[in-house]
Amino acid sequence: MDIFSQQLINGLTYGSLLGFIALGYTMVYGILNLINFAHGDMVTLAAFLAITIAPLAVAAGTLAMIITLAAVVVSVCIIAILLEKIAYKPLRAAPRLSLIVSALGAGMVIKNAIMLIWGANPRIFPRNLFPAGLAKFSDISVSYLSVIILLLNILVMLTLYIFINKTRVGIAIKALSTDYSVAELMGVNVNNTVMIVFLIGGGVGALGGMLIGASYTTVTFSMGFDYGIKAFIAAILGGIGSIPGAMFGGLLLGLTYTFCSGYVSSAWANTVTYLLLIILLIFRPNGLFGRSLVQKV
């Protein structure tokens, strides 16, 4: 039983981290139908920025953590908006696949820029940014960080859920993702709304990147791809476009992966995870929380 509970905690923590990243994918896809392949690399960038900013903020004493977090989130938000303006906005009317390749190219640029600036070797993430330490219940260990990750995940999802459903901007986002052209005709400001979506996705992703750094203490320039692709799959599992879907998709993927490694075979964990995805898509193509989509002719 201890082992089972421990695996449950492992899976929930890993799944929540994926949830942070999945959110950026799901929101951008909801509006632009774009798989933002550069998102995983933005998450990596956030972790590397924290490595550079944290030592500078130490002077601020107790406020160091807040300052670092804020500075990183703000810079990533700015870069996310720039990315949208440079690489995606000119392509709104272009074929869908061009947008995907533009995203792949942008990801490549960010990844290699990180390598050139911070080097190809793994870097150590600052240890003092988040509280360290462990709580032990009989034989189960729970780090304070995993509790923070879980709570933050729920908090962010709830906030966003309320934001989308209750504020003007949120309703504009919802309108655009329901029907882009009708919303545009009804006077929704497309450019501003898209910008806000990238801002939210980038900011939450940046938070996720720093939490990943803190959880595993090392970050490498190439780690964005693996997290990115898993998070995107999580977004699809949850039903792409759905905000609670991103959270539950992340948890589902995290738990599947963990229990496969723990109880089936670590050598085949990825295979089982992807098979699950394929089977789910065959029988429930819109994910767990997605609206069923009627193709208009």
Partner 1 sequence: MKKYFLVLIMILILFCACNRKTSNEFVVGVQAPITGEYASEGQGMSNAVKLIVQQQNDEGGLNGVMIKVITCDDEGSPQKASICAKKLVNDGAKVVIGSYTSTATAASQEIYANASVIQTSDATAAVLTQGNYKTYFRASFNDDIEGEFTANYFVNVKKYGNIAIISDYSSFSSGLAGAVVKNIGLLGGNIVCNEKIDANAQDFKAVLTKIKALNPDVIYFSGYYTQSGLLRAQQVQLDIQADYVGGNATDNPQFIEIAGEQNAIDSYLVGLPVPEQLDYPEALKFNSDYLREYKAPVPSIWTVINADGLRVVFEAMKQVNTNDTIAAIEHIKGGMKDFRGLTGPITIQRNGERAGSIYRVNVINSDLDYETVYYDPVSGK
Partner 2 sequence: MKRKLLIAVLLVFCTIYPIFANSAWLTIGATFFIFSLVALSQDIVLGRAGVYDMGHAIYFGMGGYIFAILVTKLGMNFFAAAFAAVFLPALLALAVVTPVIHLRGDYFLVVSIGLNFIFTQILNNNPFRLTGGPNGIFGIFPAPFMGINFSSSVFIYYFAFIVITLTIAIMNNFDNSRYGRAFYFIYQDDLAAASMGINASYLKQIGFMMSAVLAGFAGVLYALEYSAVSPETFSVDQSITFFAIVIVGGQGSLPGVLLGTFAMFVLPELFRGFADVRYLIFGIAMVAMMVMRPRGLMPTKYGFYPKKLFGGDT
Helix or strand (DSSP H, E) at 260: none
Quick check: 246 binds partner 2 (CB under 8 A)? no
Task: Work out the angle at residue 238's Cα, subtended by the Cα atoms of residues 32 and 294, and round it to the nearest 5 degrees.
Answer: 55
- Cβ contacts of 186 within 8 Å, gap of 6 or more: 175
In the complex, least distance from residue 262 CB atom to partner 1, rounded to whole angstroms: 5
CB closer to partner 2 out of 1 and 282: 282
Q: Which of 109, 147, 169, 190 binds partner 2 (CB under 8 A)?
A: 109
Q: Which of 233, 243, 247, 253 binds partner 2 (CB under 8 A)?
A: 233
CB closer to partner 1 out of 77 and 149: 149
Distance CA 66, CA 292 (A): 41
Which is nearest to 145 in space by CA: 4, 8, 12? 12
In the complex, least distance from residue 128 CB atom to partner 1, rounded to whole angstroms: 13
Quick check: 278 binds partner 2 (CB under 8 A)? yes
Q: Which of 58, 78, 98, 159 binds partner 2 (CB under 8 A)?
A: 98
Strand partners, 143: 134
**Are the C-beta atoms of residues 36 and 103 closer than 8 Å to each other?**
yes
Q: What residue ranges bind partner 1 (CB under 8 A)?
A: 3, 6-7, 10-11, 13-14, 120-122, 124, 127, 134, 136, 139, 141, 143, 212, 215-218, 220, 222-223, 225-226, 257-263, 266-267, 269-270
Which is nearest to 70 in space by CA: 84, 53, 55? 53
CB closer to partner 1 out of 267 and 282: 267
CB closer to partner 1 out of 12 and 235: 12
Sign of CA dihedral 241, 244, 246, 248: negative
Which is nearest to 205 in space by CA: 246, 249, 151? 246
Which is nearest to 197 in space by CA: 69, 25, 70, 54? 25
In the complex, least distance from residue 114 CB atom to partner 1, rounded to whole angstroms: 14
Helix or strand (DSSP H, E) at 220: none
Query: Given the structure tokens 């219940």, which residue do they identify?
Result: 137
Residue 108: count other Cβ atoms within 10 Å of its Cβ: 13
In the complex, least distance from residue 199 CB atom to partner 1, rounded to whole angstroms: 27
In the complex, least distance from residue 232 CB atom to partner 2, rounded to whole angstroms: 7
In the complex, least distance from residue 120 CB atom to partner 1, rounded to whole angstroms: 5
- In this structure, what are the phi and psi dihedrals at residue 113, rounded to the nearest 5 degrees? -65, -40
Residue 87 partner contact from partner 1, partner 2, none using kind-dependent CB cut-offs of 5 to 8 Å: partner 2
Residue 35 partner contact from partner 1, partner 2, none using kind-dependent CB cut-offs of 5 to 8 Å: partner 2
Q: How many residues does the chain have?
A: 297
Residue 44: count other Cβ atoms within 10 Å of its Cβ: 27
In the complex, least distance from residue 103 CB atom to partner 2, rounded to whole angstroms: 9
Sites of contact with partner 2 (CB under 8 A): 29, 33, 35, 86-87, 90-91, 94-102, 104-113, 116, 229, 232-233, 236, 240, 267-268, 270-271, 274-275, 277-278, 281-282, 285, 293, 295, 297
